[in-house]
Structure 1
Amino acid sequence: MASSINFLGSYSGIDSATVDSLIEAESGKLVQYTNKQASLTSEKNAWKDINTRLNSLYEKLGSLQEDAAFQSRTVTSSDTSKLTISVKTDAQLGNYSVQVNRLATATTMTSGTIPSASGKTVKEALGLDGTFSITNQDYDLTKPEENAFSIDIKAEDSLKDIVGKINEQTKVSGVQAKIIDQKIILTDTKMGDRTFTVGGDLAGKLGLDSTAEGEIKPTVVAGHSAELVVDGITIERNTNNIEDVIEGVTLTLKGISETEKPMTVTVAEDTDKTIKAIQSVVDQYNSVLSFVGDQLDVGDPSAESNKTGVLVGDSTLVRLETGLRSLMTANVNNGNTSIKNMSDLGITVDRDGKATLDSAKLKEALAKDPTAVKKLFFSSEKTEKIDEEETTVATEKENGMTQKMRSLINSYITDKTGIIATKSDTYDQQIKDINTSIASFNERLEKKKANYIAMFTRLDTAMMQAESQMSYLASQFSSSSNNK
């Protein structure tokens, strides 16, 4: 099959370059489409960035609605090698004198040396066959099925196997086991002056029967409670982690105090943590307002190459900006007269919307009345109203700055139904429509190009035929003239 020959422009001078120029001249609409597509994509991405910044502000505002943000505590111990402290947010403030006289210990029972054939390994079978049992003072005679601490030993069991079987029963027996120098050491899992006994036909052979005759006998060391003196009051507890002496404070005893040298525990307000949380909100607020301002910036309209923000003139974004700035400066109806707005805490907003925190003034307000500071950020007012059915309905009105600002932000960032999500869907649809228009336009251009090529090819063909006919006629005239 012969291939087609393209001789476009051979006679007319209208070649493929000319056709491309004609198509390019008609593709101005395509440029408008792609420019609009790029503009919509930039706007969508700008809103996406705004959503991320708003979400971060929403989370930081939420931290100011927690008691921990305004009731933080710092705690110090004058000797952490002997006493460490942890506190809850409601810990009592003050200085406490603590003298540790005795640490709590657990009762232990150490067997005599248990010989194996070689006497060198705890993994060697002992050749013992029988049972032994462990009974601690919590044993309930009325519920023997829940206190089955009997342990079966087989001839092939080694010392390590036996200790493993004991520890498998620890949850019910309350006794742990370990091996040191071919000896079993049993330890009560609870501290204090407690007892446990070992019985059964193998107790003596394992060196755990204090009544057995012979050389393998256990050594029992009774446990005892911890003793400490807090502000002159002597206290005993069966643990070294004491949570019920100072409200909200856990004392962890690690060593005995020097005689007549009590340690000092200080519990104080941690205002630095609160200030840091509020500063974090201020910084994120500024980040949001700065970015929003950039998107709405009209630039310099008089400049020849003026550059504006991506979302300049967007009324939805203007409302967001206005709402955030208004909430940052508005008075809060929280029933407190001493702290009514953010400026009372040292937070001021300039004409551009940028907020600044005076940490010294905030620290002073926190020291004076931390509850009032919290109420500025988070407070609710319960009210009642009568509905259409004349039923009393209880409602709760949120008055705090963080509550109102989070409510505003939530209307923008809520998934699927939020303002930004709705805008994003609209952008997607518009971009999709433009893509469809671009595809259709390109198809039309391709068809028009094909038509141009076909038309100019026909012109070249006609011109070629005309030239051929002219040559034929000329040859005929020349032949006729020569014959005369």
Structure 2
Amino acid sequence: MAGIQLSGLVSGLDTASIIDQLMSIERTPRTKITLDQSATTKRQSLLQDISTKLTALKTANDDLKSSLTWLDTQSVESGDSTKLTITRTGGAPPGGYDVSITQLATAERATYDWQDLAADGPLQILNKDGTPRASIDLKAGATVDDAVAAINASTDTNVYAVNVNGDLVLAAKSTGDGSGFSVTGAGAETERVAGLNAKLTINGATVERQTNTITDALPGVTLTLKGKTSGTNTIGVTVGTPGPDKDAITQKAQSFITAYNALVTATRADLDEKRVPGATTSTDIQRGTLFGDSGLSSMLTSFRSAISAPIAGLTGLTSLADLGISTGAANTGTTVNQDAVDGKLTLDTAKLSAALDSNPLGVRKLLGGLSGTDGFSQAFSAVIAPLQGTGGILDSRITAATKDLSDIKDRLDTFDARMDTKQAMYQKQFTALETALQKSQTVGTSLASYISSMSA
């Protein structure tokens, strides 16, 4: 603070300490404001956490009715995955197929007796028909390792190069009888192994391809050849009938349950945490911020009702419990199942799987995945809608808390400015007091000196 501060030099008083004590008393109301700030910040944070979990629940609920969740799939199996693997890439004709593999596709390979170059020169790689493919410039004295490095560094050669006991060995990057190549400038060719096509039969029909990965022999299926069959042996391939992807649907149901339970856990913890009576610290004032909150209690109640309610207009499978989704038993013998009491969900995967096997369309209708039929997902969306998202109840409460924090900050700024003014006033008053006392002492000293001189 600018200005003269004599700090009791004349009066002998510790004016700085006195001012500090006076200001401490003046600032007492600030503690209440900062406690309000802590409580409001905590309330905002808890509401934001619940809002985030509610958004995750909405996403999981929407996935239950998503058309992507209900895309048909088919099982595909190979009788011997060591020789043949099979992958579904689209809709495939259901049924069984007998596959025999008589030849695997191989890449052309050539070996050259490498001699270190006597002069600069190119190593030319040609296509099977003799047309140029790539030219590798090499310097005089280039070794087989130099050639290997240069060939492998080029993106145009379409061959792999290796040093085998001082010989240059090249192998085509592609397979089949079209993978041939020739080389000039690499020394004498000492061996060549021609590339071969893959050959197999499917239910007696001959198939020949240049690669071991065959995508067009069976519609919607990719065959990967790994080994040859012997004699008249065949490998059985089975393509199942189209149907819902049970694993995907189960995963979506579990994701919904996980998101739901996370929201219930967080909300229930906030509702059950009790306040600290007469709290005087920031930590204590933040406890129980949402204790018994009626809005959040109502949210959990509405969710629990929606979970257990049957879906109007459906027959057979009408509620989530029919799919194995429930809170479970509240009591198991003499033990209370607290998760069930709190309303958390569990999934009986065996029951859901059985329902998908016996009535897949009914499961789809119930969960809301059939266009034109409202199921659970649509009903639950109607419950979530007023709460979640911009303008929803939680968003409005978070916005209100944000405004409260802004107002509290303004109050603190105003209070602190007033305290600065008050402290300056006290310092000015005590400085004036010290100045007056100093003047009084000066006058007294002068008067005493005058009286003394008159007496003399």
- Residue 361 of structure 1, CA deviation: 1.7
In 2, the alpha carbon distance for the partners of 1:452 and 1:49 equals 47
Query: What's 2:337 paired with?
Result: none
Note if 1:224 corresponds to 2:225.
Answer: no
The change in CA–CA distance for 1:459 and 1:62 in structure 2 (over 3 A counts) is same
Spell out the pairing of 1:347-366 with structure 2 (5 A cutoff).
347-349=325-327, 352-366=342-356
Distance in 2 (CA, whole Å) between partners of 1:169 and 1:475 is 113
Partner of 2:100: 100
What do residues 141-167 of structure 1 show as CA deviations (whole Å, max 9, x unaligned)? xxxxxx974666879697838994997
Q: Who wins on radius of gyration, i.e. which is larger?
A: 1
Question: What residue number does 1:134 align with?
Answer: 127
Asked if 1 retains the 8 angstrom alpha-carbon contact of 2:136 and 2:150, the reply is no
1:346, distance to aligned residue in structure 2 (A): 1.5
Moved more, 271-280 or 153-162: 153-162
Q: Of 345, 348, 358, which residue of structure 2 is paired with 1:368?
A: 358
Residues 1:324 and 2:303 aligned together:
yes
Alignment check: 8 A CA contact 1:149 1:169 kept: no
Residue type of the alignment partner of 1:342: L
2:46 match: secondary structure = helix
Partner of 2:289: 310
Q: Does 1:340 align with 2:311?
A: no
Cα offset, 1:372, TM superposition: 2.9
Sort the Cα spacing of 1:154 and 1:458 in 2 relative to 1 into closer, same or farther, 3 A. Answer: closer
Instruction: State the match for 1:6 in structure 2.
Output: 7
Deviation at 1:438, TM superposition (A): 0.9
- Is the contact made by 2:180 and 2:194 (CA closer than 8 Å) also made in structure 1? no
Find the counterpart in structure 2 of residue 388 from structure 1: none
> Residues 318 and 195 (structure 1 numbering): CA distance in 2 closer, same or farther, change over 3 Å?
closer
| 8 Å Cα contact 2:264/2:344 also seen in 1 | yes
Q: Give 1:34 deviation, angstroms.
A: 0.6
> Which residue of structure 2 lines up, in the alignment, with residue 250 of structure 1?
222
Per-residue deviation, 1:366: 1.8
SS of equivalent residue, structure 1 residue 339: coil
Q: Structure 2 counterpart of 1:47, which letter?
A: L
Match of 1:189 in 2: 174
Counterpart amino acid of residue 227 in structure 1? L
Instruction: Return closer, same or farther for 1:99/1:169 CA change in 2, 3 Å cut-off.
Output: same
- CA contact 1:331–1:340 (8 Å) conserved in 2: yes
1:344 Cα deviation from its structure 2 partner: 1.4
State the alpha-carbon separation in 2 of the partners of residues 132 and 78 from structure 1: 42
Deviation at 1:75, TM superposition (A): 5.6
Per the alignment, in what secondary structure is the counterpart of residue 354 of structure 2? helix
5+ long unaligned stretches in structure 2: 328-339
Count of paired positions:
427
Greater displacement, 153-162 / 344-353: 153-162
Distance 1:253 1:264 in 2: 13
Gaps of 5+ in 1: 137-146, 208-214, 383-397
- Identity of paired residues, percent? 24
TM-score, normalised with respect to structure 1:
0.66
Q: Which residue number in structure 2 is paired with residue 236 of structure 1? A: 207
Aligned-partner Cα distance in 2 for 1:39–1:130: 79
Residue 377 of structure 1: aligned partner: 367
SS in 1 for 2:346: strand
Q: Distance in 2 between matches of 1:196 and 1:42?
A: 73
C-alpha distance in structure 1 between counterparts of 2:228 and 2:171, whole Å? 25
* Equivalent in the alignment of 1:37: 37
| Matching residue's letter, 1:360 | A
**Deviation (angstroms), 1:85:** 3.2
Q: Which residue of 2 aligns with 1:210?
A: none
Q: 1:258-273 alignment to 2 at 5 Å?
A: 258-259=230-231, 261-265=233-237, 271=246
Distance in 1 (alpha carbons) for counterparts of 2:254 and 2:169? 58
Partners of 1:244 and 1:250 within 8 A in 2: yes
Name 1:84's counterpart in structure 2: 85
Alignment partner of 2:53: what SS?
Answer: helix
Question: Structure 1's 290 and 167: CA in aligned 2 closer, same or farther, altered over 3 A?
Answer: closer
Distance 1:151 1:476 in 2: 119
Cα pair 1:240 1:252 within 8 Å, conserved: yes
Q: Helix, strand or coil for the counterpart of 1:6?
A: coil
Q: 1:233 to 1:422 in 2, by over 3 A?
A: farther
- In structure 2, how many angstroms separate the alpha carbons of the residues matched to 1:130 and 1:70? 54
1:325 aligned partner, one-letter code: R
Give the CA deviation at 1:227. Answer: 0.8
Match of 2:421 in 1: 447
Structure 1 position 294 matched with structure 2 position 295:
no
Measured after TM superposition, the shift of residue 452 of structure 1 is 3.4
Q: Is the 8 A contact 1:163 1:177 kept in 2?
A: no
Residue 439 of structure 1 and its aligned partner are, at CA, apart by 1.9
